């Protein structure tokens, strides 16, 4: 079976990321300890985010890279890796090169530290914002209209058909936002420290290219689909250009997805923190299977579950228990109202609606893909309420008293 592994970039970080990894997986402890020694600080402690460290790209980039690589190593231990294709969103492409064994872990940690440093030095007059509601051709036209040689704005991330991220000079971003809002779009300035994927990154691109030239590189074991062209590459000579060019070029995620799907791939796994790419793929490509692989949603065997199905009654029992837990548990962490609506309330309403649909359905069996999606949603809600995976599993076991049901659906929560 052809499978695409996708690795996320910045924006997927969260407080205490990697703690479960470190405490439960020997390979993760080794990688985190090695990374901390190279970086000159304790990466896991930095990820506690007690002073807002994860708002700093100098911390965030190494944190996401190391987390994703550790998760890949766990994935390999539990799954038979055969016909695999890689892609990464921005920083995630460096992760892909490491997981493809084209770049060593130790050199990758040094590279990501340099990448973050170079990028942060380019951000004095720059920023980023997200735009919803207009297609990319309209937004591109407005960016070109506003941009000058000394005041530039461009599309940094083509994520979804009507969701784009813009990057550039603050003044140009402000002018573009006024025009976009006047045409019915919704814009929001992002709280980031660098104007990634814009012309402002040229000095960073030059410095990073030079560093990439100097390190030892090998051909990748798996094809890596470039996040800026969508084209696959394997050769070590391509790594320098691909990983440096992306600093000033926009991430073309729809192009990447279209290329992978045309390759015959219908199974996607996001390996890394949170589910940013999973949500994009679910929204834009409903006919493919996508599953997150992380400490929130669980580290488990994936490749033997596609043929499995669950009884309607068991999934109804699972959903009923999930909804009871969501309603009956407190929010243990401080959370903004907007995040509560997006990450807790809206998914809860969706699960409740799915339960209603299932009760009206006459099918005796429910496929594993749909069932796993419901499970992922439940675990994400509890995570955003402040419960780790082990706590959530314990709550689930307490809520479902029938041990036979628990045994039959155990792959949904292991």
- Please say if 174 is a catalytic residue: no
Distance CA 119, CA 247 (A): 8
Q: Please name the residues in contact with 76: beta carbons below 8 A apart, sequence gap of 6 or more.
A: none
56 contacts 105 by C-beta, under 8 angstroms: no
Q: Retrieve residue 114's tokens.
A: 């340099």
Distance CA 121, CA 193 (A): 10
Catalytic residue chosen out of the listed positions 68, 87, 90, 380? 90
Distance CA 350, CA 400 (A): 21
How many CA atoms, within 13 angstroms, populate the side-chain half-sphere of residue 205?
Answer: 17
Rg for the chain, CA atoms, rounded: 21
Nearest to 99, CA basis, from 118, 81, 117: 81
Nearest to 141, CA basis, from 174, 101, 167, 176: 176
Catalytic residue chosen out of the listed positions 197, 220, 244, 309? 197
The continuous run of DSSP H or E covering 293 comes out as strand 289-293
250 contacts 227 by C-beta, under 8 angstroms: no
- Please say if 104 is a catalytic residue: no
Distance CA 35, CA 66 (A): 7
Distance CA 113, CA 265 (A): 33
Residue 150 burial (C-beta neighbours within 10 Å; 0-12, 13-18, 19+): exposed
The continuous run of DSSP H or E covering 173 comes out as helix 170-182
99 contacts 5 by C-beta, under 8 angstroms: yes
Which residues form the catalytic set? 90, 197
């Amino acid at each position: 079976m052809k499978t695409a592994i996708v690795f996320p970039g910045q924006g997927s970080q969260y407080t205490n990321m990697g703690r479960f990894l470190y405490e439960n997986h020997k390979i993760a402890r080794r990688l985190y300890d090695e990374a901390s020694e190279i970086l000159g600080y304790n990466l896991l402690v930095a990820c506690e985010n007690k002073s807002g460290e994860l708002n700093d790209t100098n911390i965030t980039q190494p944190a996401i890279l190391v987390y994703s690589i550790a998760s890949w190593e766990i994935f390999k231990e539990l799954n038979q890796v055969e016909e695999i294709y890689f892609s990464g969103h921005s920083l995630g492409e460096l992760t892909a090169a490491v997981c493809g064994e084209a770049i060593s872990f130790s050199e990758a940690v040094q590279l990501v530290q340099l990448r973050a440093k170079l990028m942060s030095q380019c951000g004095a007059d720059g920023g980023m914002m997200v735009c919803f509601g207009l297609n990319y051709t309209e937004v591109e036209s407005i960016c070109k209209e506003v941009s000058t040689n000394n005041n530039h704005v461009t599309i940094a991330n083509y994520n979804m058909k009507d969701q784009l991220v813009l990057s550039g000079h603050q003044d140009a971003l402000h002018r573009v936002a006024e025009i976009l809002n006047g045409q019915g779009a919704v814009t929001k300035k992002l709280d980031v420290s660098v104007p990634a994927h814009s012309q402002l990154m040229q000095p960073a691109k030059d410095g990073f290219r030079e560093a990439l030239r100097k390190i030892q590189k090998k051909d990748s074991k798996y094809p890596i689909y470039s996040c800026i062209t969508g084209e696959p590459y394997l050769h070590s000579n391509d790594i320098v250009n691909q990983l440096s060019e992306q600093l000033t070029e926009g991430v073309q995620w729809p192009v990447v997805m279209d290329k992978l799907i045309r390759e015959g791939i219908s199974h996607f796994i996001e390996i890394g923190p949170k589910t940013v790419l999973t949500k994009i793929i679910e929204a834009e490509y409903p006919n493919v299977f996508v599953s997150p692989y992380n400490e929130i949603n669980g580290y488990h065997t994936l490749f033997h579950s596609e043929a499995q199905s669950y009884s309607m009654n068991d999934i109804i029992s699972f959903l009923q228990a999930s909804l009871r837990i969501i309603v009956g548990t407190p929010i243990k962490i401080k959370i903004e109202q907007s995040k509560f609506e997006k990450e807790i309330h809206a998914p809860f309403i969706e699960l409740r609606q799915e339960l209603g649909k299932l009760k009206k359905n006459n099918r005796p069996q429910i496929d594993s893909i749909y069932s796993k999606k419901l499970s992922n949603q439940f675990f994400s809600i509890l995570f955003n309420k402040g419960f780790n995976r082990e706590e959530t599993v314990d709550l689930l076991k307490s809520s479902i008293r029938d041990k036979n049901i628990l045994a039959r659906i155990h792959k949904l929560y292991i």
